[in-house]
A and B are shown apart, each in its own frame.
Chain A
Amino acid sequence: MLWFALHLSALPLEALLAALPAEPQNSEPARCVVEQRRVLQACRLATAAGVQPGMSAASAASLLPGLQALPRDVSREAAFVARLALALARYTPAVVIEPDGLLLEMTASLRLFGGAHALARALRATVRASGVQAAQMAVAPTACAASLLARVASGHSPRRRAAAQAMDPVAAWHQHIRQRLDELPLVAAFAAWQLPMRTAELLHGIGCHTLADVRALPRTGLQRRGGGALLECLAQAYGEAPDPRPWFMPPAGFELGLELLHRADDAAMLVFAAERLVQPLAGWLAQQWLAASRIALHLRHETSRHQSRPDTVVRIGLGEASRDAKQIGLLLRERLQRTALPAPVYALTLQLEEAVSHAGREAALWRDPQQSGDDDIRGLIDRLGARLGPERVQRLHLQADHRPERAMTTAPAGAAASNIAAIDLPQPGAPRPAWLLPEPLRLQEQAGRPLHGGPLTLRSRAERIEAGWFDGELVSRDYHVAEGRDHRLHWVFRERRGAVAQWYLHGLFG
C-alpha cells in the first residue's frame, strides 16, 4: 500500500478565503480566523504585524486596526476538503476525507502517472491550482502513519541510513518510515490523534519522549493505565492492526455550489471564486471518464421579500468536449469578464449540462501535428467565441445554389462541423468577387451606364443567372464586371424582371 497524506494546515483560513470575491490587487486586507473570541489562524500580513494564534480577538484588533476577523466556519471547511477530494479524484479512486486533510491510496496509479515522484509533483500542482497554499504531504505504507507524518514531521526528511541501501528498496523504505515514526515526539502524536493529554504527561513523566520509547513499554501495563487508544493508534501506524477507512464517494452528477462571504457587484470579482469550482469539475470528469461539452454557471442574486430575481446563467459550450481545467477556466474567465450583472451576486453554482464519454487519449510516441493543430484551432475558436460571442466567429460554407447570395452560408465556427463543406462546385468559368455586399445596392444610371462614384465601365459580357423559380425567389439577372473611376473592379448586375431594367452593385473584386 502506498498512502499519500495531505494535511491542510491553514484550512480554516483558506476555506474562508476561497469564498471571498476577488479584491483589487494591493488592497487585500489583513485577515484572521476567530473562534470563541480567540485568534485561530492569521494570514501572512497579520502574522507580520504580530498577530499570533491563541491571542484574543480584541488584542489582535488593537495590534492591527484594519484587521478583518472572520468567524470560523466548519461547514465551509468540510466543503473545501470535499472540493479538493473531487479535484484529486483524477489520480485515484481511493480517497479518504479527514477533517483537515485527505488520504489517497496510490498503489494502482503509480504506473499511469510515471512513478511516485511524478505523482507527488502532479498532486502538488493540482493542490496549488485548487487554491491551497499551505499543504503538507507525506507518503507512508499505512494511512495512519502517512497522516501522522504529514501533520508532525513535515518539512524535514532525514536521509536514509546507509545500511538500509543494501536491502530490497521496498523493505528499506518500510524500515525508513518505521525509523521516522520511532523518532517522532510523543506529544505531537497525541495532538495529532487527539488523545487525552493527561496520558501524554504521565508518559513524559516516566521518561518516554518518542514513539519508540512507548513501544518499548510493556503493553499490558500501558493498556491498564489508560493507554489503550494510544496502543491501537500505534499498531495502525506501524501496520500491525487493520485500519479500515470509508472511501469518498463522488456524486453521480456534477453540480457544485459556492456561497460567497460577501456580495460581488462585478462579474470580474467572481472569476476567482468560479475558478475554485473548475478544478473539482475537471477531477470529477476524469474520474467518470467524461468530458464536458456544455457547462453552466448559475449566479444567484439576493432575493428579498419585495422582489426575487432569477439566477443569471452563464452558459459555455465547448467546441470540442474537454476536461482540461486550464481551458475551461480560461473560457469561464473570458465570459465572466464580459458579463454584466443585473444585481449583486451571493452564490454561484457550476453545473455540468452535457458531457460525452471520453476515455482519454492514448499517448503517441510522436506528436501528431495534424491532430494537435486541429485541437489548437478548436481551442482558439472557443476562446474567441467566449469573449466576442460565438456568432462573431464564423466559418464559411459553400452551398449548391446558382443564386450568388445563396451560394454561401456562414455558420458559427464553434458549432459541430457539418458535412456541407463537401460540396465541390464546378468552376463556373465566370468571375466571382471576393467581397459580397450583404444586400445588392441599387445604382443610379446615366446614359445606360451604372454609376458608383462615377460611371462604371463594363469589362465583361453578361453572365446570365436565372434561378430560384422552385422556392418562389426567382432571380433573373445579367452580371458584369465593371471598372470604376478609381479602377476598382465591381460586380454589378442588371435586374431583368420588372418594368425598368435596374442596375445593382453586388460585390467587389478584392
Chain B
Amino acid sequence: MQSVVPFFPAAPVSTSLPPRGAAQVLAGLSSAGATTATALWLADRLAHAAAASAVWPSGFAALDAELPGGGWPAIGLTELLLAAPGSGELRLLAPALAAQPRAGALLWIAPPLMPYAPALHMLGLALDRLVVVTPDSLADAAWAVEQGLRSGACTAVLWWQAEARAPAASLATALRRLHLAAQEAGCPLFALRPASARGASSPAPLRLVLEPSVQGQLAVTVFKRRGPAMLQPLLLTLPVAGLPAGRTLRRVPAPPVPPAKVLLSEPGDAVVRAAPERIAA
C-alpha cells in the first residue's frame, strides 16, 4: 500500500533547471571541487549536507526529499511547531531517534505530559538512554538544554517549550544561544514549540509545522529551509506504537452500550483479553 501521499507526482526539485548562464556557472563549480559545490547553496535548490553524517534520515522517504541534505539536521536547532501535544511529534521523530547508535543520552526537557514508556519501547527508543527532565521554569529548562548540549553526553536533546510566557526577544536570544551551543557540541536540538511561534523570528535553519490530518496522518509543512518554499503540506502516515505495520485506523461503529453491571464471573480468570485480530485491518 502507498504509505505516503506526495504532493507532486515527480520530484519537484530536480525538474526546475536554472537558466543557461547559471548552468555554466554551476558546471564550473562542479569542476572546481566537491567542497565548493556542497558549501554553496543556490536558493532555488535544496541545500546539500556538508557531510553524510550531518543529517539523520527521518525514516520517511517523502520527508527526506523535502529536507535539505536528505534528513533531519544532526547538528544545530530544528523547530517543530504544533498546536497541541499529541499531534504526532513523537511518532515523526521516533524512527530517526531509534536509528541512532545508543551511545549517548536522549535528553527530553519539559515534556507536556509524562512520556509513556511502553509506547516508546515499541517505537524502538532505548529507555535506558532516555532521561526526562521536568524543570520549573523556562530559565531552568533553557539551562538544562544548554548543559545537555555542552556535556557532549547526548545523542539528541528535545525541548518542549510551552506557551511563550517569556518575552519574544529574550526567547529568540535564548534560542540563538542554544543553536550555537548545539552547533559547537555537534548535537541536534529539536525544539517543540506552540504553533503561535510561527510568526516569531527564530535562528533555526529548519522549521516545520505539524498538523494532524485524517486517518492518523500528519501534514508536515516545512516553512523555513535552505531551499525553495514548500507550497503544499506533505502528508505522512505515521506508525502507531503497537499496531503492526500495514494496519491503519479506520472508522469503526461505536460499540453498544454494555449492560449496566459487568463484573468478572470469577476473580481467577482476570486476564487481558486483547484481540489484535479484531483491530481494523
A residues within 8 Å of B by Cβ?
A: 369-370, 373, 376-377, 379-381, 383-384, 387-388, 392-398, 402, 404, 407-408, 410, 413, 421, 425, 427-438, 448-449, 457-470, 474, 476, 478, 480-481, 483, 486-490, 494, 496-497, 499-501, 507-510
Is B258 on the interface with A (CB-CB < 8 A)?
Answer: yes
CA distance A243 to B141 in the complex (A): 60
Decide if B163 is an interface residue (CB 8 Å cutoff): no
- Say yes or no for B83: interface residue by CB 8 A criterion: yes
Is the CB–CB distance between B89 and A510 below 8 Å?
Answer: yes
A483 to B136, CA, bound (A): 32
Q: Is the interface of A mostly helix, strand, loop or mixed?
A: mixed
Assembled-state Cα–Cα distance A480/B119 (Å): 15
> Is B6 an interface residue when CB atoms closer than 8 A count as contact?
no
Q: Which residues of A contact B135 (CB under 8 A)?
A: 388, 392
> B140 contacts which of A388, A421, A496, A497 (Cβ < 8 Å)?
A388
| Closest-CB distance, B125 to chain A (whole angstroms) | 10
The answer to whether B255 touches A478, judged by C-beta atoms less than 8 angstroms apart, is yes
Q: Once the chains bind, are A380 and B134 in contact (CB under 8 Å)?
A: no
B96 within 8 Å of A (CB atoms): no
Partner of A469, one of B113, B115, B136, B267: B267
A-B contact pairs, 30 of them (CB 8 A): A370-B103, A379-B151, A380-B154, A388-B133, A394-B131, A394-B133, A407-B118, A408-B117, A429-B274, A430-B242, A431-B279, A432-B116, A433-B119, A435-B112, A436-B114, A461-B252, A461-B279, A462-B255, A463-B275, A463-B279, A466-B264, A469-B264, A483-B214, A483-B216, A487-B213, A489-B249, A497-B263, A501-B257, A510-B87, A510-B115
Cross-chain contact B144 with A384 (CB below 8 angstroms): yes
User: Which residue in B105, B127, B134, B212 is a CB contact (below 8 Å) of A489?
Assistant: B212
Interface string of B130-147 (1 = CB under 8 A from A): 111111100010011001
Q: Binary interface profile of B, 239-281, with partner A (CB < 8 Å = 1, else 0)?
A: 0111110000111111101101111100100111111101110
Whether B119 pairs with A430 at a CB distance below 8 angstroms is: no
A459–B249 Cα distance when bound, in Å, is 5
Chain A contacts for B278, CB-based, 8 A: 461-462
Cβ A434 vs Cβ B116 within 8 A? yes
The B20-79 residues at the A interface (CB cut-off 8 A) are none
The answer to the question of B186 belonging to the interface, with a C-beta cut-off of 8 Å to chain A, is: no
What is B's interface to A at a CB cutoff of 8 Å? Answer: 83-91, 103-105, 107, 111-123, 127-128, 130-136, 140, 143-144, 147-148, 151-154, 211-217, 240-244, 249-255, 257-258, 260-264, 267, 270-276, 278-280
Q: How far is the CB of A132 from chain B (nearest CB, A)?
A: 29
**Are A427 and B134 neighbours in the complex by a CB distance under 8 Å?**
no
On chain A, the residues within 8 Å of B279 by CB distance are 429-431, 460-461, 463
Question: Quick one: closest B residue to A402, CB to CB?
Answer: B272
Given contacts A499-B261, A509-B91, contact A489 B151 (CB under 8 A): no
Besides the known contacts A459-B251, A464-B275, 17 further A-B residue pairs in the complex with CB atoms under 8 A apart: A397-B127, A408-B116, A425-B118, A430-B243, A458-B254, A460-B252, A461-B275, A461-B278, A464-B272, A466-B271, A469-B270, A470-B267, A474-B264, A487-B212, A488-B88, A489-B212, A494-B255
Interface pair A395/B130, CB less than 8 Å apart? yes
Tell whether A466 pairs with B121 under 8 Å between CB atoms, given A435-B112, A436-B116, A487-B214: no
For B276, list chain A residues within 8 Å (CB).
Answer: 428-430
Q: Which residues of B contact A488 (CB under 8 A)?
A: 84, 86-88, 212
Residue of A nearest to B134 (CB): A392
| Distance A449 CA – B262 CA, assembled complex (angstroms) | 20
| A461 proximity list for chain B (CB < 8 A) | 252, 255, 275, 278-280
**A464:B273 contact, CB within 8 angstroms:** yes
Q: Determine whether the beta carbon of B147 is less than 8 Å from that of A432.
A: no
